[in-house]
Each structure stands twice: as C-alpha cells, then as structure tokens.
Structure 1
C-alpha cells in the first residue's frame, strides 16, 4: 500500500505537496481552491491518499477538502499512461465535466473520466472517493467517448455490481495476495468495458444524456430530503451547481416542470405518511407537516397528482383491510 498524507508536512508545504506529489501520482492534475479567499499556501490543505496496484489497474481511496481539479490541455500533453478513472463517491458532491457533458455525482453514484482528454472535477464539499485507474486500451475509444461525465447509479443493475466490486475490492486491498489483486484488476477492467458498452448501446451518448442524469439526481435528492431542505429553484440550483435558468431548462422536455415535480414528490411522500398514520394525524396536521398552505391546497394537489383525495385513499385502505379480514 502506498500512502500520502499532507498532514505530515507543515501547513505552508501542504498545498505544494498535494499538487506536485499526490495528484501527480495518478495523472497530471492541477488542483485549485473553489473560493479565492482560501489561502492554502498559508493555512495548509489537508488531504490523504492510499493506493495499491491491482495488476495493470490501480485502486485508491482519496479524502480531502472542496476544490476544483483541472486536467486541461497542458496536463493531457504530459500524460505518460493513457488511463480512464472510475470514481465511486463515498462522501461529498462532484460536478464532472468532459466531452461537452456535465453531471453531478454524489454518494451512491460513480462516474468515468478519460485522462486522454481534458476534464474537470469540481468538488463542492469535503469529499472521499474510491477511484480505480484503468488502462485506456482496455476500453475502445468509441465506448469511452460515450460514457464520460455521466452519473451511474450504484444502486441497481450493472452499476450496483461495479460499485460493490470497487468498494469491496478496496476494503480487502491490504489483505490480498498479488495474484488476487491481479484478478481484481482484470475484473474491474472487464466491468468498466461492459458499462461503457451498455451506455453506448442504450443511446446515452446524445447531448441530453447528461441533462437526464442530472435531472434524475435532482429528483432523488428531492425524494430523500423533501421535508428538510429548501426546495426553491434558487436553493436546488445552488446545491447542484447550476444556474436557475439551467435548472428550468432541464425540465423543458420532461412531462412535468420543476415546480410540478417538487409538488408531485411532496404529494407522494405525504400520501405514504397518510397511509402509515392511518388516521392518527388530522388532515390539518398532515398538511402542515408536508408544507401545504391549507386543506384545500392539500386536496387539490392530491386530486391532481394521484387522482384521489386523502379521504378516498383512507377509504381504500379500509376496504382492503375488510377484504383481508374476510379472507382470513
């Protein structure tokens, strides 16, 4: 295992060490502060990396502060090993940009960038990721071009298999023999090739692919946090590092506008709560809990998005319960 930790250096040396030693260990990269007021040369930059080879592939865990990492034309010219990075986010959010696409990757997702071309990783928060560096020749050029800067879910399908492989391989890295690590490297390269092929055959290569992935990320965020965060266009746009105009553009070709999407999520979550409470909360309490201005607002929203009023949902539950009791 190779280890780098900037905290072993005096604060005034930490940024230079991170830029010239740690980042250079992967591929030529140029890190920069997201906020011009951050004076890393004075206060330091905390960051740590652990890395080990898996055959021709390399795995690493990286943890550090919010920053923008550039891999521009100058860095591309200095590339010695043509590689692709598969980055599984554990903590924090990253706006990934390459090949004219831009997507948001957060915990439970991963993305791919190709070091043979320019890319930018804009980490909005302190972050931690498991990253595997795969030789570019293991993935055909046309497949790599269609898979970069897209957000892949680690929850289902091939994405879940890849994420589990990356995560578990890294967790066991220090216990593996060289031959076991070689086998993992072959498996990661093969899975990455399969993923990029899937992205191409499913026609994710059009210009709207990144927008669709970003829209899905926004909707997953709403579903998880609808009760606890500001869901105004300004707040959501800020969270996903886009303009308010861009946020609304994401929904121009979608069945619902952004505002309607927020309301649909709110109504569905409220309906789930209604079913779970089964009358233990009053309608007034339920409306206040889920941010409806009054009962008429609640009823209109339910009718529009679910085709039923809250009372009809409860009545349906009672009918189902009676059926089950008679069947028993």
Structure 2
C-alpha cells in the first residue's frame, strides 16, 4: 500500500521544512534548499510544492516524487546520519537533474537514470520541465550490499548514469516502470523475486558482467545463493521448499542452483534443513514451554524423532537440552 505525502495542506512558510521531513523519509538524509536562482527558474515563486508516493517492494523502497526547482544535498553530515547504506536509482520522468558525486557530473533527462551511493556525499539539482510542469522522478532505494555483492570488488556504484540506448540499460528502465505500475498486484513472493531480478539487471546495465572482470564468478554465485536462501526462508513455514521453485525464483536452472551451492561446500537441501532447525531453535528460546513435537511439524519435519536427530547433529545437543541451557535465560531488564 502506498504512503503519500504532499505539501499542499501546509502554509507556504512551512512547506520547505515539511518537505525536508518528507524527503528524508522517502529517500535518505537530504537537505533541500531553494536559492534565488532556483526561484527565478521556477513556476513556484514562494513556498515549495511537492508530493511523494512511496511503497515497499521486497528489500527495496520505491517512490515517485514530484516538486519544483531546487537543490538537494547529501553532505558529510547527512552521510553520518544515514541509518543504513543504500543506493538510489533515480529514473527521471519529467524535468531534469544535475547530479554530482565525487568527480562525476551527470545531467539526467527524461528516460535516463542517475545512480547515487549514500556512503559518500552527493548533490541533486532538480529542474522543472520546460513547460513549467513539476519535475518527476521514480526512485528505487536499493540496499547497497545487494548490488555490491554482484558488482566486481573495485566497481564504482555511485555517480553513474544509464540511458535507454543500450540493451541491458533499456531493460533496467522498462523494469522499473513495470514494477512500479504493477506494485498493487504483486504478492510478497513476487516482490522478492522482482527485487532480486532488478538488482541483477541493474548490475548488468552497469557492466558487472562485461569482459574479463567476471572471469571469477564467485561474487555472482554468492548473490544467487543469498537470493535462493532468502526465498527458502520465506517459504519454509508453508511446507516443502522445492529446488525447482527456488531456481525459478532467482532465474536460473535447477542444475545451476545445485552448482552454486555445491561450489560453497553445501547443498540446497542442507541449507533448507539448517533454516528449519534455526527456526526451531529460535522458538525454543522465545517460547520455552513450546512442545517439541509441535515445533517439528510446524517447521516441516516429517516427525519429531527425525528433527531431534538432525538438531543434535547441527547444534550438538537435543532440543530439550538446548532449551534448558542457562545462557538462553533472558536477563532481567535494567531500570
């Protein structure tokens, strides 16, 4: 479900302050300003008109933003204030944006993407469209680790632009638009699948899989393992987790799925069992009175004796012994 903010209901002398709060929620810590030069080029001579529609799509936050000419700054203070490391993928829909990060200077027009890394300072100077209409941006806030583990280790992520002229770049742009337009009809599982797929497509558009930089496919395999493991974790409560379904979720063959896990000394099946056992252990800690047989059935084991045997192999003790360990006793809260 979308969350929506607008400055329309605020007096003009309060709009800039409210906009700063809205932008920080939809983006990352940013400081908006409207200097005389911005006002002179704007159809909004006083106050600050703008709105944001935002929603969560898997691990990614998506937002459509529209406003008037202004400068947004993510400086050293804002970098320190950022609660997490993110990458913003901004698809310009109307108007334009001059983006700066490090030594890179970008001029982004409609149908082009600017990418910015919140771990370093950057500025975004948005300009209204030539007909005086508000600038509009579709922005995906992607966890930085999601891209970093796919990209080659020495890759620069922020301060980069993408346009529709190249194959993978066009797919990335079309995918952003399609995901946003379909957001109200996507199940949680579909959101996770598209979230992971978009990261792969974006990395491809940025050249992650071009030339000799990916002769060692370890980073890509690690990303595939992580995506398949996340899918398995989301499905274990509902019953069997089939390799065919996990492979389809991350967009690879079953053979490739087994290969990426075996390259890491594991199997997909063993990882699923570990996830089930970890959930049993978590509930033993959270609910000391929980029935072991009930937990076995709840987390997909055929019977409790089978679960107990696997639990002992994994944790070195039975579920009952695990539950009785003094280290799982919650400390008394401090006052």
Question: TM-score category by the smaller chain?
Answer: 0.5 to 0.7
Q: 2:203 aligns with which of 161, 185, 193?
A: 193
Q: Does 1:150 align with 2:160?
A: yes
State the alpha-carbon separation in 1 of the partners of residues 209 and 35 from structure 2.
Answer: 31
- The Cα shift of 1:66 comes to 0.9
Correspondences of 1:14-53 after superposition (within 5 Å): 14-35=15-36, 38=39, 43-53=46-56
Q: 1:175 aligns with which of 169, 185, 189?
A: 185
Q: Does 1:79 align with 2:87?
A: no
Unaligned runs of 5+ in 2: 129-133, 214-335
In angstroms, what is the RMSD of aligned CA positions?
2.7
State the alpha-carbon separation in 2 of the partners of residues 17 and 165 from structure 1.
Answer: 31
| 1:218 match | none
Q: Does 1:130 align with 2:130?
A: no
Structure 2 length as normaliser, TM-score? 0.55
SS at 1:20 equivalent: helix
Q: Note closer, same or farther for the CA distance 1:95–1:26 as it changes in structure 2 (3 Å cut).
A: same
Correspondences of 1:1-328 after superposition (within 5 Å): 1-35=2-36, 38=39, 43-125=46-128, 126-140=134-148, 146-198=156-208
State the alpha-carbon separation in 1 of the partners of residues 52 and 16 from structure 2.
Answer: 14
- Whether contact under 8 Å (1:108, 1:155) holds in the other structure is no
SS at 1:8 equivalent: coil
State the alpha-carbon separation in 1 of the partners of residues 211 and 118 from structure 2.
Answer: 23
State the alpha-carbon separation in 2 of the partners of residues 118 and 79 from structure 1.
Answer: 11
State the alpha-carbon separation in 2 of the partners of residues 45 and 200 from structure 1.
Answer: 43
Q: Which runs of 4+ in 1 moved over 6 A?
A: 39-42
Q: Note closer, same or farther for the CA distance 1:123–1:52 as it changes in structure 2 (3 Å cut).
A: same
- The Cα shift of 1:127 comes to 1.0
Render the CA deviation track for 1:38-86: whole Å, top value 9, x for unaligned: 4999932111111111111111111111111100000000011110011
Would you say how many aligned residue pairs link Structure 1 and Structure 2?
203
Unaligned runs of 5+ in 1: 204-328
- Whether contact under 8 Å (2:71, 2:126) holds in the other structure is yes
- Whether contact under 8 Å (2:38, 2:70) holds in the other structure is no
- The Cα shift of 1:30 comes to 0.6
State the alpha-carbon separation in 1 of the partners of residues 57 and 175 from structure 2.
Answer: 13
Q: Note closer, same or farther for the CA distance 1:97–1:181 as it changes in structure 2 (3 Å cut).
A: same
State the alpha-carbon separation in 2 of the partners of residues 177 and 60 from structure 1.
Answer: 18
State the alpha-carbon separation in 1 of the partners of residues 174 and 38 from structure 2.
Answer: 38
- Whether contact under 8 Å (1:143, 1:197) holds in the other structure is no
State the alpha-carbon separation in 1 of the partners of residues 62 and 171 from structure 2.
Answer: 17
- The Cα shift of 1:115 comes to 0.5
SS at 1:129 equivalent: strand
- The Cα shift of 1:167 comes to 0.6
